[in-house]
Structure 1
Amino acid sequence: MASPLTIVVTGANRGIGQGIINLLATTQHPQPLHIYATSRGGVDLKIQAKPPNEIRYAKLDVSDKSSITSFLKTALNDSGKIDVLINNAGINNNNNETPDAAEQVINVNYHGTKQMCQLFLSEGQMSSTPNARIVNVSSTASSLSNYPSATATRFRSATSISGVDTLAQEYIDSVRSSSQESAGFGAPPKSYQVSKALMNALTVVLARENEGMLVNCCCPGWVDSDMGNQIGRPPKTLEEGARIPVRLGVGQLGKGGDGDGGLTQETELVTGRYYGNDGVTDRGWGRAREW
């Protein structure tokens, strides 16, 4: 039997994270999928994986460095390596955005994702794991089309993590001084949108800094989750929303995967890209596109 792929999914206890676990559990891949379904509580979802796939449940808080390092130690002892990290955990406080709530969104969605990537690359040894992949679950809300061109250019042209950190801090400062629009971030509430744009910029920087790895981000679409229901009645199931993240984790990243994800195919080496469908209600496997 081929050696297994070890996959870590954050925020797996509900929503799109749960959909990702469901889809991975039943995916017939050339390699067995050993899946860590992680959440702050380590909730056991009782999902039955189709053999030879396996699911393990574990606690992991993306905002707590000690939680991440503890998980990594256990996972490496058990599995020896981590092949795929799917950063799905996130929050949205737009419906009740105060300065503290906005900063919390940036800290979890951007800084938490950044911390996960950095620790998994170093302590988790993903930077030296052949064919490793990182998937950052973003959103169509990350689109830069509604920002002033100068701000959009700053997001797109970021060349270092410190540069993305500067954008994050400028946004938090602008929220606290009620100057988001004059600072170039648009009218509030905006913390969720900005956090996802920061995540996309981080993805591009990490892809550039880690040649040989595949680091991409994606919008799963408008999915029937707690977050999705904040803005109406979502048309997509959790498993439909999981298609693009799963494709980026274990499928074909080239155009050959646009139709069905190419989950049994060798992949083209595509990195630093944003994937999504043409519309948030579309149920496809996505394609590389501008954000």
Structure 2
Amino acid sequence: MNTTPMIALVTGGNKGIGREIASQLADLGHTVIIGARGLERAEAAAAELRAAGGDVIGVALDVTDQASIDAAAETIRVRFGRLDSLINNAGISHQPGADFSGQLPASGDVDQVRFVFETNVFGVISVTGAFLPLLRLSAAPRIVNVSSSAGSLAAISDFANTDPIGLGYVPSKTALTAVTLMYARGLVGEGILVNAVCPGFVDTDLNNHRGVRTPAQGAASAVRMATIKKDGPTGTFTDDAGPVAW
């Protein structure tokens, strides 16, 4: 683990796994930027972590809004001049207010699927692209994408697997791990480490609090990969027990 203080950005960092990632990084002595769709949400979470002794600020960052992404990148450029670790944590399971039947193969709604991909896949690409110039100014840049073993092709192809079927969420995580590999291969020559992690089935709003793991447990793999040394691995997909099947 890298113990040199770094500047880290956590998207969707105001609650759930993202907030716990921010908390654990702050506890390690790193400067943490919490990104959330609204500045009030981001700052409220940051204030709580500052009260606990962390060096934490909040920024408005809607991963589906390029203007919001660009404004956040400019804010961080002006204040810090670089970014050492980008944790793409923001994610959704469904379109708010939509019936989950829209993600079932027999009744799929392409608009609902597209809505999920906008955050879980296209949002990651948009955010990563906007922050690459700041990551290139780091001595040890890292990108961590919070994916899920639900998108593992090995798991999906096992018909005995009891994970839910979802035309939006599940393939979005399959795509995210593939996107991770593309960035890892494309940026390896620049020394930017890019890895995907699976937090497990964590008790969060995303699954209506049906998860069996705590946010602290779910954050562990992302924190580990966000703090690896500059000669650490790239292009991996892991959880806190080790490699996850692609």
TM-score bin, normalised by smaller chain: 0.7 to 0.9
CA contact (8 A) 1:224 1:237 kept: yes
CA contact (8 A) 1:22 1:47 kept: no
Task: Kindly indicate which of the two structures has a greater share of residues assigned to helix.
Answer: 2
Determine whether 1:119 maps to 2:116: no
The aligned residue for residue 215 of structure 2 is 238
The aligned residue for residue 95 of structure 1 is 100
- Give matches, 1:191-202, under 5 Å: 191-202=168-179
Q: Out of 166, 175, 193, which is 1:189 matched to? A: 166
3-state SS of the aligned residue for 1:227?
Answer: helix
3-state SS of the aligned residue for 1:8?
Answer: strand
1:31-67 per-residue CA deviation (whole Å, 9 max, x = no partner) reads: x41100110012112323465x400011001111111
Classify 1:146/1:249 alpha carbon distance in 2 versus 1 (closer, same or farther; 3 Å).
closer
**Cα displacement (A) at 1:228:** 3.1
Q: Say which is worse superposed, 187-196 or 209-218, in terms of deviation.
A: 187-196
Q: Which runs of 4+ in 1 moved over 4 A?
A: 146-149
CA contact (8 A) 1:223 1:235 kept: yes
Query: Where does the alignment leave 5 or more consecutive residues of structure 2 unmatched?
Result: 103-108, 159-163
The aligned residue for residue 30 of structure 2 is 33
Output the CA distance in 2 between the equivalents of 1:39 and 1:65: 14
Classify 1:96/1:41 alpha carbon distance in 2 versus 1 (closer, same or farther; 3 Å).
farther
Larger Rg: 1 or 2? 1
Equivalent pairs counted in the alignment come to: 222
**Cα displacement (A) at 1:26:** 1.7
3-state SS of the aligned residue for 2:91?
Answer: coil
CA contact (8 A) 1:22 1:239 kept: no
Q: Which amino acid aligns with 2:120?
A: N
Give TM-score scaled by structure 2 length. 0.82
Identical pairs, percent? 32
Q: CA RMSD in A?
A: 2.3
Query: Where does the alignment leave 5 or more consecutive residues of structure 1 unmatched?
Result: 150-186, 252-265, 277-284
**Cα displacement (A) at 1:21:** 1.7
**Cα displacement (A) at 1:147:** 5.4
3-state SS of the aligned residue for 1:217?
Answer: strand
**Cα displacement (A) at 1:188:** 5.8
Output the CA distance in 1 between the equivalents of 2:153 and 2:27: 35
Output the CA distance in 1 between the equivalents of 2:178 and 2:198: 14
**Cα displacement (A) at 1:205:** 0.7
Q: Out of 223, 230, 234, which is 2:202 matched to? A: 223
3-state SS of the aligned residue for 2:90?
Answer: coil
**Cα displacement (A) at 1:119:** 1.4
The aligned residue for residue 275 of structure 1 is 238
Q: Which amino acid aligns with 2:195?
A: N
3-state SS of the aligned residue for 1:13?
Answer: coil
CA contact (8 A) 1:35 1:55 kept: yes
Q: Which amino acid aligns with 2:148?
A: S
The aligned residue for residue 289 of structure 1 is 244
Determine whether 1:78 maps to 2:110: no
CA contact (8 A) 2:32 2:57 kept: yes
The aligned residue for residue 203 of structure 1 is 180
**Cα displacement (A) at 1:224:** 1.1
**Cα displacement (A) at 1:19:** 1.5
Output the CA distance in 2 between the equivalents of 1:235 and 1:289: 19
